[in-house]
Amino acid sequence: MLTELPDLVPARMLNEYAYCPRLFFLEWVDSLWASNADVAEGDRRHRRVDAGGGAVPLPDHGDVRVARSVELASERLGITAKLDVVEGVGGGVVPVDVKKGRPAADGTPWEADAIQVCAQVLLLREQGYSCERGEIFYAQTRQRVLVEPTAELVARTQEIVKEARAAAARLAPPPPLQSSPKCPRCSLVGICLPDETNLLARRNEGPPRRLIAADPDAAPMYVTEAGAMVGIDGGRLVVSKRREPLASVRLIDVLHLCAYGNVQVTAQALRTLFERDIDVFHFSYGGWLLGITTGLPSKNVMLRIRQTTTAARGQLDAPRMMIAGKIRNCRVLLRRNGGEAVQRTVGQLAELAKARYVS
């Protein structure tokens, strides 16, 4: 069990826990994140509310009209939240949460969404506002759905807070869902690997569903012009030399930045690249890799714990197998393209992979 946890659980993470406890753990504890079309569409739908705007006077200092991106927290409840929209209605307030999808088939909100909005209602009440209900705006059907904070929903929300904190304190993520229709469209399915994990744990009898890895649209960007400068201009990487522009590429199209020789990268560009997890590879004029400039590594807590424990125990089987795989790949490349001139080297690589690196 972990002894140090944040005092407050974000209401959005309560939504994730109610939807899938493992997804909650990977995002909140391991700080893992991946984007897909659904995530991008959700960000687009939230663009207006995320911009903020409007005033939220204290309960005794005037009426609320409309405010966006309102942040609230309560130590007693153990919850924090950023409310998309808060509207003043009849002397009270109503939180409105924006969702990109559609409500359930019977027109009611999904349970995970209702729990998130219920948490927002409780936070508003805790701050002294009169709040009798919440609403969810489902963008796909462009309709508002009522969320009534009944005693059962309030109790369920408080129960989810306790369960989420207990799950976060454990040193292993909850097991994946079994054969759930939620998994294929989840942005973290390539990290969670639900079918594969369940198969290894013998929780599923049948074969796993086929997992198709994402093929990123971005590609490496190579800068080989001596004396060039790589900067940032809005959402684009701009390459110039003596203030004369040479190229301009959208950031979303850049997978890595490869700088050959005397190429400068501005501090502003580096910060932006770090924020987008884009590494900078520094090469010599002849193409020899000299170093890598990268941002902070992934915060995958469970992975870091396993790595530290494995290193302390001297368990080197996995690294040896990875090195052996690289040697075999080099051997295959030489066999296909080197001809008779590299036959001796090919044999040496085979023996090296087999004798020294395979336990």
Which of 101-110, 214-223, 310-319, 331-340 is the most confident on average? 101-110
Q: Are 83 and 72 in contact (CB under 8 A)?
A: yes
Strands (E), 100-172: 134-138, 143-147
| 81 lies in the same domain as 28 | yes
Q: What percent of the chain has pLDDT over 70?
A: 94
| 28 lies in the same domain as 110 | yes
| 121 lies in the same domain as 68 | yes
Range of the domain at 255: 219-293
What pLDDT was estimated at residue 358?
47
pLDDT tens, position by position, 126-143: 999 999 999 999 999 999
| 226 lies in the same domain as 328 | no
Separation between Cα atoms, residue 247 and residue 231, nearest integer Å: 11
216 versus 237: the higher-pLDDT residue is: 237
Residue 115 is part of a domain; what is its CATH number?
A: 3.90.320.10
Distance between first and last Cα of the chain: 33
Number of domains in the chain: 3
- Give how far the C-alpha of residue 128 lies from the chain's centroid of Cα atoms, to the nearest Å: 34
CB neighbour list of residue 175: distance below 8 Å, 6 or more residues apart: 22, 197, 198, 201, 203
Q: Residue 209: pLDDT band by 50, 70, 90 thresholds?
A: low
Tokens representing 289 are 């890799």
Q: Residue 108: pLDDT band by 50, 70, 90 thresholds?
A: very high
| 339 lies in the same domain as 283 | no
Cβ-in-10-Å burial (0-12, 13-18, 19+) of 16 comes to: buried
| 148 lies in the same domain as 14 | yes
229 versus 179: the higher-pLDDT residue is: 229
23: alpha, beta or left? (left if phi > 0; alpha if psi -120 to 50): alpha
Q: Which amino acid is at 278?
A: I
Give 8-46 as a DSSP string. -EEHHHHHHHHH-HHHHIIIIIS------HHHHHHHHHT
Neighbours of 299 (CB within 10 A): 12
Q: Is the pLDDT of residue 359 over 60?
A: no
For the chain, give the mean pLDDT: 88
What pLDDT was estimated at residue 211?
62
CB neighbour list of residue 272: distance below 8 Å, 6 or more residues apart: 232, 251
CB neighbour list of residue 232: distance below 8 Å, 6 or more residues apart: 238, 251, 266, 268, 269, 272
| 85 lies in the same domain as 38 | yes
- φ, ψ dihedrals at 219, nearest 5°: -140, 155
pLDDT tens, position by position, 271-316: 999 988 899 999 999 999 999 999 887 667 777 777 788 888 888 8
pLDDT, average across residues 309-330: 84
Examine residue 244 and state whether it is found in any structural domain, yes or no.
Answer: yes
| 280 lies in the same domain as 350 | no
What pLDDT was estimated at residue 160?
96
| 84 lies in the same domain as 163 | yes
Examine residue 21 and state whether it is found in any structural domain, yes or no.
Answer: yes
Q: Please tell me whether residue 273 adopts helix, strand or coil conformation.
A: helix
Examine residue 194 and state whether it is found in any structural domain, yes or no.
Answer: no
Examine residue 48 and state whether it is found in any structural domain, yes or no.
Answer: yes
Residue 267 is part of a domain; what is its CATH number?
A: 3.100.10.20
What pLDDT was estimated at residue 170?
85
| 284 lies in the same domain as 324 | no
Examine residue 303 and state whether it is found in any structural domain, yes or no.
Answer: no
Cβ-in-10-Å burial (0-12, 13-18, 19+) of 94 comes to: buried
Examine residue 72 and state whether it is found in any structural domain, yes or no.
Answer: yes
Examine residue 2 and state whether it is found in any structural domain, yes or no.
Answer: no
Examine residue 181 and state whether it is found in any structural domain, yes or no.
Answer: no
| 330 lies in the same domain as 285 | no
CB neighbour list of residue 3: distance below 8 Å, 6 or more residues apart: 169
pLDDT, average across residues 29-34: 84
Helices (H) and strands (E) in the chain, counts: 12, 14
pTM: 0.69
Separation between Cα atoms, residue 169 and residue 172, nearest integer Å: 9
- Give how far the C-alpha of residue 309 lies from the chain's centroid of Cα atoms, to the nearest Å: 25
| 162 lies in the same domain as 20 | yes
Q: Is the pLDDT of residue 323 over 50?
A: yes
